[in-house]
Amino acid sequence: MNHQLKNILMYVLAVAVILFEMRRYLKKKKIHFFSIALLVCMAVVSIVKSFFLDFYIVPTASMSPTIHSGDLTLSLPYKDRRDKLYRGDVVIFHPSAFPSFIYVKRIVGVAGDTVSFNTNKEILVNRKPVRIEKEKNNFNIIYEGIQDRDGKTYQYMTDRNKPFIEPIYTTWHVPDGYVFVMGDNRDNSWDSRYWENPVGTPKELRGLLPTKNIISRYMETAINIPFFKEDFDFGRLGLNIMGDAQKKGEK
């Protein structure tokens, strides 16, 4: 658990203490506690989301094994457009083709990179493969990559039972102001390999994500919210998705 999650837990604890003391005071004054408490909670959530952390529930498994379906993720708002983006960063953004939607993917190529995708489902960045095979089973092959921001490893996988799907191109040259993104669940992700950008997009920019569309980056999984399960998955509390996917239970 790193400092971002610790900070949010401290905020929650502080709010709980304030509400407890407020309840005692309001009880004496015969003022309805829950109305005031609701307003305080709304104000705190608004402040935290605006200045400190964004939080989103991920409904799909396109980023598995890093992010699971139902994970409540925390992220840092990406407000300073001068902030450098690195290969391996996980970002939340509005896709150009569907600006009302919110997606989460991992950056594979940044400005100046040449990204290639071949029939072996292999990604090459500047002619160098980004994967190291870690393990294999009847369904998936798990690989490890390196996150350039801090040198930590992350995991992604391919589905052994799914055939190669032809992308819109086999090679992309990433210009300034754009990144190339993919889901960690490579055979179950709609990403830069297949995107058809809005009508009028220059051919050389098809599939690429404008950095201006990025909302936030560097997330943690706070907890798993069960859409189809009976219990919360507390085992994912504080999982740093930038480099801790190799923790116990995530292999």
Catalytic annotation, residues:
62, 105
Place of tokens 């799914």: 162
Instruction: State the residue for tokens 């952390």.
Output: 53
For strands 140-146 and 153-159, give the pairing: antiparallel
Cα–Cα distances in angstroms (integers) from residue 154 to residues 205, 235, 243, in the given order: 27, 18, 5
Residues 182/172, Cβ–Cβ less than 8 Å: no
In whole angstroms, what is the distance from residue 182 CA to residue 131 CA?
13
Phi-psi region for residue 112, left (φ > 0), alpha (ψ -120 to 50) or beta?
Answer: left
Distance CA 150, CA 122 (A): 24
